[in-house]
Amino acid sequence: MNGETPATQGFSPVLAGATARRVLTQLRHDPRTIAMLVAVPTVMMILLRYVVSDSLLLNRIAPEYIGVFPFVSMFIVAAITTQRERSSGTLERLMAMPLGKLELLAGYGIAFGLMACVQVTLALVISLTWLGVTVAGSAVPLAVVAVLDAILGMACGLFASAFARTEFQAVQFMPAFVLPQALLCGLVVSRDHMTAVLRWLSDILPLSYAVDAMQRITTAASWTSAASADVAIIVSFTVAALVGGALTLRRRTP
Amino acid sequence: MRVPGVTRQRGEGSLAGPCRSARSNLAARKPLPPRPPAWLNGRMGSAEPGDRAGTVVSGRGLVVRRGGHRVLDDLAFDLAAGKVTGLLGPSGCGKTTLMRVLVGVQTVTAGQVTVLGLPAGHPRLRARVGYATQAPAVYQDLTLDENLRYFGTVLGLRGRRLAEAIAATVARLDLGGLDRRLVGTFSGGQLARVGLAVALLGSPDLLVLDEPTVGLDPVLRRDLWALFHGLAADGTSLLVSSHVMDEAARCDNLLFMREGRFLAEAPPAEILRRTGAPDLESAFLALAVPAGQAVRQ
């Protein structure tokens, strides 16, 4: 009856694209969420500028915060969206349909990645112009790493949502998962000044590398191999979280 | 306690067009001479195949265990092609679990289930089996058109075929004029129809519908049953669950279920004949409660 038999093996870019479009359309129908997603990191940067009046200090820490704010907001949005997909039954419906798990996750990745680009671009442009933040090198690598940080946050949110039974739990994952990382990533106290145990903890948390990379890019005039290593770690964490997300996304459930 | 045949009017005069097979069952509701209680033997015999097209789903030794409890307890069943089979039983008896097995999203403990000639849950079945869950399971923050467009694309429809499938489904479920509205603003009856629309979108060979009519108004319920029989007449096989017994008479075949087991698997007329009950609700009670325990009150 159904003449077309869609490919069920392999990865279909069309289905990933359709999923990304669907997620973006959902966001479009919710302008307040878009406004907050785009504006909150920028507003936080403006706030930071006036809290830290010393321009030398601001130049040092502003890029780190540009790495952290999008991470946090993407974490929440991704965790809640996935949790809603589970609780509304649409995930079960999709799992009964010819949609691959990787296509679904890639769709999310594309949609939130695009949102992250907008978010980071605005925060960077405002910071580098109006707020007077200066960086040693070009702003482009800064933007790229900040977007990678946001995508890392999204991947962590997708993975964490697998362990949330309710939306309440998904929201609680934000402080539970993100705040300890924010304390340990070098934002508050330099990682070099931490005790051995804290330093060790800091070393295994992804956000530490997100902040590290932003720091290195700002202070060095050119790209360093240490920055490359940080970026490689960020990407590895992202891939691991996405694979973890795919593994926890079960077609068959008890 | 037997309730004398309540005169509910089932499936009479359908607004929504052809409802041929629905009516054929109604004749079977007249009281039948009492027979020795066949239900003492436990499960009744399988439904007569009675259909040239044969079976579209068959299960043998199906067991689903959840938390040490057998949700589905050694089930054997066959669903006839091109028929509306009703899966009836109280809430929590395992109807949804059985349906989830057929569409391939349920972890199975033991047994074999074949759907359209392939093992249940086979990737090739995912576009051929339509599934509607109890909750509408659509995106409330998308419009009707955006929902159908996305699910249609996932089902492998593209371009003109997608547009045609959407137009046909919208017309079939009488959702015209709502396509640009957010689904979250729909009424309960409209939402239920959106859930069904997604299940129908890919013109599946088998439709698995979990309580599609529960809680809807009588007119809409009658129209939906007419739609189900129209689809069956076109060759689609349907499995429709309900915990409301007065829907049983609208089905071609019945699976009576209780606590993870089948009490009966037969056409409504056959069940009435075998139990000697005045209506299907009494028949279910007669099958569910052994004679010795039947009297309370």
Q: Cβ distance A197 to A103 under 8 Å?
A: no
A15: chain B residues, CB-CB within 8 Å: 153-154
B282 and B249, same structural domain?
A: yes
The span from the first CA to the last CA of chain B, in angstroms, equals: 8
Q: Are residues B238 and B104 in the same domain?
A: yes
In a domain, A229, yes or no: yes
Give chain A's domain count.
Answer: 1
**In the structure encoding, which two tokens stand for residue B232, read together?**
């069956």
Per-residue pLDDT 10s for chain B (297 aa) are 443 433 333 333 333 333 333 333 333 333 433 433 433 333 333 333 334 358 999 999 999 999 889 999 999 999 999 999 999 999 899 999 999 999 999 999 999 999 999 999 999 999 999 999 988 899 999 999 999 999 999 999 999 999 999 999 999 999 999 999 999 999 999 999 999 999 999 999 999 999 999 888 899 999 999 999 999 999 999 999 998 888 899 999 999 999 999 999 999 999 999 999 999 999 999 888 865 554 444
- For residue B105, what is the domain's CATH number? 3.40.50.300
- Cα–Cα distance for residue pair B20/B23, rounded to 1 Å: 6
Among the partner residues B127, B136, B236, nearest to A98 by beta-carbon distance: B127
Nearest Cα to Cα of residue A249 among A86, A113, A106: A86
Handedness of CA A127, A129, A130, A131 (dihedral sign): positive
Q: Which residue from A14, A26, A98 is facing B126, i.e. has the nearest CB?
A: A98
Domain membership flag for residue B4 = no
B187: three-class secondary structure by DSSP: coil
* Total structural domains within chain B: 2
Name the domain boundary from B203, B226, B251.
Answer: B203
A99:B161 CB<8 A: no
**Does residue A2 sit within a domain?**
no
Burial of B182 (0-12, 13-18, 19+ CB in 10 A): middle
**Token pair for residue A102?**
């990787």
Containing structural domain, residue B66: 47-128+206-291
Determine the Cα–Cα distance for residues B49 and B30; give it in Å rounded to an integer.
24
| Closest residue of chain A to B138, computed from CA coordinates | A90
| Shared-domain flag, residues B218 and B95 | yes
Q: Measure the CA dihedral B47/B50/B53/B54, to 10°.
A: 30
Domain-terminating residue out of B164, B179, B203: B203
What's the predicted TM-score (pTM) here? 0.83
The residue assigned the tokens 């074949």 is B114
Mention every residue, 6+ apart, whose C-beta is less than 8 A from residue A253.
A92, B105, B106, B107
Q: Do A22 and B198 touch (CB under 8 A)?
A: no
Report chain A residues touching chain B, CB-CB < 8 A: 1-2, 4-6, 8-9, 14-15, 18-19, 21-22, 25-26, 29-30, 88-90, 92-99, 251-254
**Which residues partner with B66 through β-bridges?**
B69
Q: What values do phi and psi take at A99, rounded to 5?
A: -120, 125
Identify the closest residue of chain A to B70 by CA–CA distance: A254
Residues B77, B53 share a domain: yes
Query: CA nearest A6 in B: which residue?
Result: B156
Residue B42: count of CB within 10 angstroms of its CB = 12
What is the residue-wise DSSP string for A111-127? HHHHHHHHHHHHHHHHH
